[in-house]
Amino acid sequence: MTSIYDFSARAIDGSEVSLADYKGRALLIVNTASKCGFTPQYAGLEKLYKQFGPKGLTVLGFPCDQFMHQEPGNEAEIQNFCTTKYDVTFPLFAKVEVNGANTHPLWAFLKSEKGGLLGGGIKWNFTKFLVAPDGKVVERFAPTTTPESITPEVEKLLVAA
């Protein structure tokens, strides 16, 4: 059976990262964009990461330019924007596609594990997937769901671990 830990992705610095590196940690995996109405959620994601990182949560940001060209920058520009504007310290990855023929395999897996209101497709930037420390995808949150509002689910997951 395929697990979240079977996937790897290119980090924003170009290095290849195995998700197996995060075994035993809860993950919040998010498709992000710098020029989206939901972009201020970067602040909430960073707050969750700082608050719960020591307790076992890692936020993983995957920039995506599939929704109205809201992530037009290259990896260096994205990294600079995130660190300068939102003081992001959680891991960021290279741009990915989350829908269509070139969907990154990790995102195809996430969608197969937790479909959304529109079936398997990702509706917009800042769709979030919560993954348990054992690698099971436990929840999918809509772009409109703020990071702050999922704090109870994160806490519950970390207590159960």
Instruction: Supply the residues annotated as catalytic.
Output: 36
- Give the CA count within 13 Å in the CB-facing half-sphere of 115: 4
Bridge partners, 27 (sequence order): 58, 131
Angle at 34 between CA 115 and CA 131, to 5 degrees: 35
CA atoms of 89 and 43, how far apart (whole Å): 11
The residue type of 161 is A
Compute how many other C-beta atoms are within 10 angstroms of the C-beta atom of residue 159. Answer: 8
Question: Which of 138, 55, 130, 57 has the alpha carbon at shortest distance from 90?
Answer: 57
CA atoms of 81 and 129, how far apart (whole Å): 23
